[in-house]
Every structure is written in structure tokens, then in C-alpha cells.
Amino acid sequence: MQNDNVSVNENTKAEQLNPSRAAHYDQKLTTDQGLKLTNTDDSLKAGLRGPTLLEDFHFREKLTHFDHERIPERVVHARGFGVHGYFQVYESMSEYTKARFLQDPTVKTPVFVRFSTVVGSRGSADTVRDVRGFATKFYTEEGNYDLVGNNMPVFFIQDAVKFPDMVHSIKPEPDNEIPQASAAHDTFWDFVVNTPETAHMIMWLLSDRGIPRSFRMMEGFGVNTFRLINAQGRARFVKFHWKPLLGVHSLIWDEAQKLAGKDPDFNRRDLWEAVNNGQYPEFELGIQLIEEQDEFKFGFDILDPTKLWPEETIPVKIIGKMTLNRNVDNFFAETEQAAFCPANIVPGIDFSNDPLLQGRLFSYLDTQLIRLGGPNFHEIPINRTVAPVHNNQRDGYHRMTVDHGKVSYFPNSLASNCPMPVSVEENGYQHYAGKISGERVRARSDSFRDHFSQATLFWNSMSPIEKKHIVEAFHFEVGSVMDKQIRQRVVDMFNNVDNTLARQIAMGVGATPPFTGASGSTAVSPALSQLNTIRTAETRIVAILAENGFNHAELSFLMDSLKGATVNFDVVSRELGTIKSMDNRELAVGRNYLTAASVKYDAVFISGGKNSAAAMLNQGDTLHFINEAFKHGKAIGAVNEALDVLAACQIPDTTLAGNNAKVTDDMGVVTVRNSDLSEFCSGFLSAISQHRHWQRESKKETVPA
């Protein structure tokens, strides 16, 4: 691609996706055939009170279209949200691949990303404990390339033939359609204890990775093993990674549950608002490479999708960055109709024999045929490639292309063999000529038999607080299982991962703890812990609590500091409208306590001012808001008179600034009285950047909320 085509490529895709952008404004109502209408409020009747006539073509068209507006939702990944952007490689990857979009750092390749949960229906909540989909469509000049992954690098099963069983087990139970969007029930855990290959994925699912703070703050993984192939035909095995530049952060389970009720759209709203605010999410693309001759040198099978490649052994090479900078114009037309398939590749990228990947290559295409009404879903604007399309496929449901000529076959003489295949030298796609041999068998390689060593590696790599969260997740999930035998079998199964883990699980689910068990490998992978991630206050959201009589000078200074650090905030007060400061300055209130909740924010600031503080001291909603934020480990800031409000909260063993004290930061509670606010703001921003102050959870008592 030429450099002067960079912006044209991006604009061309935007125009394709929106061929009639803003076309309805100031226009006259018509039928789908363009016939102008005089009335759309009354059907055509035989008399004012008579029956509707069959000849009312407008009624039939309008109702027929309405009746068919809903397409079948995805069996999995039904709850999704999409956003546009672009990708740029940092430097040419010609050493590893001939894929053109990975060659020129000046080229911006348009992308569309769809984030999703897996288990729930379209109407389920964003913050359920679940795997998150992370699917990226690159609109390259060589055709569309789909990198279809998750926010976890491994999967439940090793062979795609088991996928229907796995999904059936985790979906709502068929007799009563309960529970929605949850793995906390009998059939799923029955499947788990009878399928030990799930052990590693269960550790990921029950970790904090299962409840991400934001789509903008989670990693993405291609999961399967692919190949990169360069122009010389040399192939390497590859795994793909997306690394968020905001770091990898999660919710607390109690927080996630409350958000599901207070704001079930929390993650999609967060992404939508970030893009609208110009705070564009950024992800770096990384690759792990293994030379073909090294395929068998590791202690695991690199084709096993229940295994990851430890980053300490096989480093992640960062090769480019994706910026998400444009929200969709229409959710249905773009996000809901987006069709992804791992078989959508370009020259320089090919498949491996990963048995889960092999099944996905069939299943994704097959799914689109039923969801999107036939074989022409590629002509829907969101799925349309920017590369020219010429072939002999014809007709079918919803055909958009008007093909010219009488020839639709190959070979032919009437059209000089056009459209004709091209050579490899003309960049025609050629599958990698890997050697395949063996008998036809329905079996599995012995190298896939190890189901527990990497689950142990994951457990060993967690910090104490992350281990605590995993155990609590087991207590909720397995504690929700009614069958006592299954609960005991879960304990026995995870005794193969770690004896301490199994004993802690047993204590919370009414099972018998095993006295002995796995105590083998002590290997760790620091990259697996979310505590080893980027920490920044950028794009976080602060709730500013204030009432009439607040200190305007203090609050203005804080707001300017937050804006300067690209931190967002809402003013929360008892009533919507405006409040007045102690010197009669007005401030707009963004939320009241009915429309706001501490779980929607990353931090809380309590405004000073004698009358404001006095009002908050008499409001149970304010005190609950602060207590709950403390319970969830969030940064809390207070200055001057606001310290009296903080002192009235049920926050244990927290040191507050005394008279004329400098800034005090105790477990992320940052306070100051009669001292320099610039130092306070610096400390408060630092506390926000920590995401959560987990040391609070080591306290024997937690704040009621």
C-alpha cells in the first residue's frame, strides 16, 4: 500500500459502513421502494371502523420488517459491544511474515473490535463472571483478517468436538432456564469434574480476570497457535497478544454483583463514553514465536489450547499499536451484524494443527449462515472488505452485488477464464506446505494428557490477595451447586492443582478437605499476576461528594488537577440541579444518590466546607457511599472539614490528618487539613493510579455496605 493511500483507506471503510450517513435528516417518508407516503399512523381500512385491507402494502411492509428485525442472537458471545479504530505496526515484520499490513509503520489499517461476554444472552449484564471475547477485524488491502480471541490465553477444552457439550453445560439449565449468564450451577460443574482438561481455564475464570474493570483494561489473546510465514516460505509458530496501555485491572466480586443491578451496561457505557470523550483506548499487539524445529522442546504441547506459553520462557515481542477512536453509528448494523471467523486470513498467516482451532475454522462460518440469513453476509457493510472482490459465487439470500455478464464458472472461454487465479508471486494465498502423516484415528495425543501443571503454575503466580479472591470465587460458584457429590469432586479435582487450594475450597463448600495432595512444582510466571501491570490514573472516574456550602477554591483546585491528569469526575449531591459554595459560586450537580453509586467510580473525594460537611454528616446515603468505596479498596480523598465526615464513617484503623497536618495516606485514604493542596492532589492521584488498595482486605473487619 502506498503511503498516500493511508487516509483514503480509513475513509473508504467509513463510507462503506455508512453509505447513507445522515440521509434521513430533513427528508420525506417513503416505503423501502422509495414511494413517498402521506400517512403512517393509520392502516387502510374498509370504513372508519372496518377491517384492515390486504392491499395496504405500507402496513404489510412496515409490520413485516418489524416482525423480522431481530435476528437469532449468537449462541455464545451474544452480549457484545463494538468500536472502530486503526492499527499501525511499529516496524516492518518482513523477517517473520509477508502480511502487508505488518510491513509499513506509516500505514493505518482500519479495524473493528467487538468485545463481549460468552455465556449470557444479549440482555444479560456486562459485569458477570465470565470469559470476555476480544475479536478484531483488520480491513487490509489483501482482504479481511480476523483475530478472534478472548481475554484469557487458554480455553476449557482441547478439541472442538467437545464445544457443544461445554456450552450446553454452562448455559442456563434446560428444564427451568436458570441461571442466566452464570457458571454457578450444577450442570457446569458436573461437566468440569468429568473433564479434567478444564482445570487451567477454571483457575483463570475464577481469578479476577473473570470480572474486568473495563474492556479498555483487559488483555486479549488469540488463544490458538497459528503460523507466520515470510516471503521466503519460512514458517514459525505464533501466539497473539493484545496489551492494554491502561494496564490490566478488575472489579471486586461484590462490586461486580452490585453493578449488574445498578448499571448492567457498565462496561459498554465505559467504552462508549471513553471514545466520545476522546480518551481513545490503546492496545499494543505482541507476538510469541517458536521456531518449527523447537516444536517439541517444551514441557507442554504448543498445540494444546489449554496451555499458555510462559512469557518468561517465550517472550512477547511488541510489534504495533491499535487505537480505538470511533463509536458505531448503529449498534445493529455494525456490532450485531459483525461476522468474525478465524479462517479469514491473509498471505503470511496460516493455521496450525491445534484441534480447537481446526474446529473453529468450520464452526464460525457455519454459524453466520444461520444468524445472518445465508452466504452473502460478507456483503453487509461492516463485514465488507476494502479489497476488490471477484469470484463466481452468485445469488443466495440477501445478495447485494449486481453481477454483470453471463459467465459464472471456471474454466471458461467466453470470459477469457476471468476471474482467474493468480500466482504466489502475484500475492495469491498459498497454504503452508507442512508435512502431514498418520493413520485416521479418533484419539488424542499423549502430549495433551497433562491437565494440572499449568493450573498449578497459575496458582503459584498469584499474589496472596489474588489467591484469596480465587478461593472466594470457588466458594460462590461451587457453593451454588446443589449436588454434594459434585462439590466433593471439585475439591478432589483441584487437589491435583494444589493441596492448600483444595483444602480452602472444601472449607467453604461443605466438603471433606483432603489431607494430602499436589505439592509439586513451585514454578511461577510473574506475567500472570495482575499486580504486575501498568498503573495510571488516566481516564479513571472520581465521585466528588459535595453539598451547599462547599469550599469553591478547594474544589476548583482539585478539579483542575484531575483534568490535568486526564481523570474524569462527577459531582454527586443529594439533589440534581446546582449547589452553591460558601461564597455563593454555583456548581452543576451531575448525579444524585439515586442515579449514582460508589460501584460506578474508581475513587471518591469528599469536599470541604463547614456547611457541606454538616449536611453530609446527616445523610446516610453519603456515609454508605464512602463506606462501600472503602470496602471495595478504592482511593478516598478528604480535605479540612470533610475529615469530620470521614471520621463518622465505619472505616477501621485509618489515620486522618490532624490540625495543620501534612498529607496523610493510610491504605489509600488521602487526607489533609490546613496544608498544601498541591501535595494532597499529587497523593490522591497516586492513590487513584493504584486501582485498588488490597491491603484493606487483610483487616479482620470489613466495612458493612
Could you list the active site residues?
77, 150
Q: Under 8 Å CB-to-CB from 703, ≥6 apart: which residues?
A: 627, 628, 630, 631, 649, 650, 651, 652
- The answer to whether 193 and 451 have CB atoms below 8 angstroms apart is no
Residue 221: what are its φ and ψ, rounded to 5°?
-135, 140
- C-alpha dihedral (79, 83, 86, 91), degrees to nearest 10: -40
Using omega within 30 degrees of 0 as the cis cutoff, is the peptide bond preceding 179 cis? yes
Between CA 497 and CA 519 the distance in angstroms is: 8
The answer to whether the Cα torsion of 625, 630, 631, 633 is positive or negative is positive
- Amino acid making up residue 471: V
Find the DSSP H helices in 206-314: 253-262, 266-276
Joined together, the cell numbers standing for residue 269 give: 457505557
Between CA 581 and CA 637 the distance in angstroms is: 19
User: Parallel, antiparallel, or unpaired: how do β-strands 635-639 and 669-672 relate?
Assistant: parallel
Between CA 93 and CA 353 the distance in angstroms is: 24
Between CA 78 and CA 685 the distance in angstroms is: 37
3-state secondary structure of 289: strand
Joined together, the cell numbers standing for residue 624 give: 454508605
Between CA 132 and CA 223 the distance in angstroms is: 12
Q: Which long-range contacts (CB under 8 A, 24 or more apart) does 69-73 make?
A: 69/332, 71/336, 71/337, 71/371, 71/372, 71/373, 72/370, 72/371, 73/121, 73/122, 73/371
In the numeric block, the cell 488521602 is attached to 670
**Bridge partners, residue 351, by sequence:** 226
Q: CA 79 → CA 104, 117, 132, 133, 167, distances in Å?
A: 35, 6, 10, 10, 15
Q: CA 704 → CA 282, 501, 503, distances in Å?
A: 37, 27, 28
3-state secondary structure of 639: strand
- The answer to whether 266 and 597 have CB atoms below 8 angstroms apart is no
Q: CA 127 → CA 107, 166, 182, 226, 268, distances in Å?
A: 36, 21, 11, 31, 10
Residue 506 DSSP code: H
Between CA 99 and CA 639 the distance in angstroms is: 56
The closest of 589, 426, 496 to 193, measured between CA atoms, is 496
**Bridge partners, residue 639, by sequence:** 672
User: Parallel, antiparallel, or unpaired: how do β-strands 317-327 and 541-545 relate?
Assistant: unpaired
Instruction: Centre a 10 Å sphere on the Cβ of residue 424 and count the other Cβ atoms it contains.
Output: 11
**Bridge partners, residue 136, by sequence:** 113, 147
Between CA 529 and CA 207 the distance in angstroms is: 10
Q: CA 561 → CA 534, 545, 554, 585, distances in Å?
A: 21, 16, 11, 19
Joined together, the cell numbers standing for residue 201 give: 481455564
